[in-house]
């Protein structure tokens, strides 16, 4: 995570393309920074529709192992299964370990916090989040999310979102088909170990409001950095899938989620 300290007054300009150009202007200097925002590319399916395709990067194994190690610390045991399958098994154990939704969400927030070096979150919240009414921080975390989390979520890209005040920022992240949800096959896992704790983490520890809008029909998900969650979030009370392994393990009725 990069921290940019900008001398006031500073003008921030973002271009909207596959590569992002950040232009920092002040009376003393002008600096241009160009960076690649995604390793995803669009390919055509047999039906002719565009589909995102993710090419794994060299750091993906490192990210997965770091996340897995933190899960093991929180859960207290490891899965015998390797790779992503073992990771999802640990996530389900985290869900089952929590006695309430808030307990599970708090545990997931602790895991997210532990993935960052000390003080980096506080510095980001104090020094970056206030710049340009929060726009810089929102645009930055959207790009970092795409760069570092596709191994977890699947192909994703930065997109433009509408804010409640009528503005439009390219601070959204669209996940075409969430791997985390598809592999877990559990609404409770999605809501309590991903959506709610991630929203809390970015708002409370990075100063960036976030609402996540998972679609449980096509497994897509829209991140909206810079937008606060609604008070009445219908996603939170979605019924679980009939294929949910946690519900079947607890002998619940089809569609009844034990944790949602």
Whether 26 has a pLDDT exceeding 70, the answer reads no
Query: Where exactly are the structural domains of the chain?
Result: 59-250
Q: How confident is the model over 144-202, as pLDDT tens digits?
A: 999 999 999 999 999 999 999 999 999 999 999 999 999 999 999 999 999 999 999 99
What are the DSSP calls for 85-145, one per residue? HHHHHHHHHHHHH-SSHHHHHHHHHHHHHHTS-TTHHHHIIIIITTGGGGHHHHHHHHHHH
Nearest 5°: CA angle at 204, between 155 and 3? 65
Q: Are 150 and 165 in contact (CB under 8 A)?
A: no
Q: Which tokens sit at 71?
A: 């899960």
Residue 20: pLDDT band (50, 70, 90) is very low
Average pLDDT over all residues of the chain: 81
Pairing state of beta strands 156-162 and 50-54? unpaired
HSE, CB side, 13 Å, CA atoms: give it for residue 49.
Answer: 3
Q: Are 88 and 173 in contact (CB under 8 A)?
A: no
Whether 56 has a pLDDT exceeding 60, the answer reads yes
Mean pLDDT of 97-109: 91
Q: Coil, strand, or helix at residue 32?
A: strand
Q: How confident is the model over 209-240, as pLDDT tens digits?
A: 999 999 999 999 999 999 999 988 877 777 67
């Amino acid at each position: 995570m990069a921290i940019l300290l900008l001398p006031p007054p500073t003008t921030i300009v973002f271009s909207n393309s596959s590569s992002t150009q950040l232009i920092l202007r002040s009376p003393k200097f002008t600096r241009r920074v160009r960076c690649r925002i995604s390793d995803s590319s669009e390919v055509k399916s047999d039906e002719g529709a565009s589909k995102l395709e993710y090419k794994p990067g060299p750091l993906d194994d490192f990210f997965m192992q770091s996340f897995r190690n933190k899960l093991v610390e929180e859960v207290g045991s490891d899965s015998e299964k390797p790779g992503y399958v073992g990771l999802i098994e640990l996530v389900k154990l985290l869900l089952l370990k929590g006695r309430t939704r808030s307990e599970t969400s708090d545990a997931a927030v602790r895991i997210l916090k532990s993935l960052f070096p000390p003080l980096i979150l506080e510095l980001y919240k104090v020094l970056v989040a206030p710049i340009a009414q929060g726009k810089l921080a929102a645009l930055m975390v959207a790009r970092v999310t795409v760069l570092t989390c596709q191994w977890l979520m699947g192909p994703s890209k930065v997109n433009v979102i509408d804010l409640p005040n009528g503005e439009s920022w390219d601070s959204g992240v669209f996940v075409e088909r969430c791997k985390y949800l598809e592999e877990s096959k559990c609404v409770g896992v999605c809501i309590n170990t991903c959506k709610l704790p991630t929203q809390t983490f970015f708002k409370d520890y990075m100063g960036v409001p976030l609402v996540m809008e998972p679609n449980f029909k096509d497994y897509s998900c829209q991140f909206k950095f810079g937008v606060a969650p609604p008070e009445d979030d219908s996603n939170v009370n979605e019924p679980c899938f009939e294929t949910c392994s946690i519900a079947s393990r607890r002998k619940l009725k089809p569609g009844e989620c034990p944790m949602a």
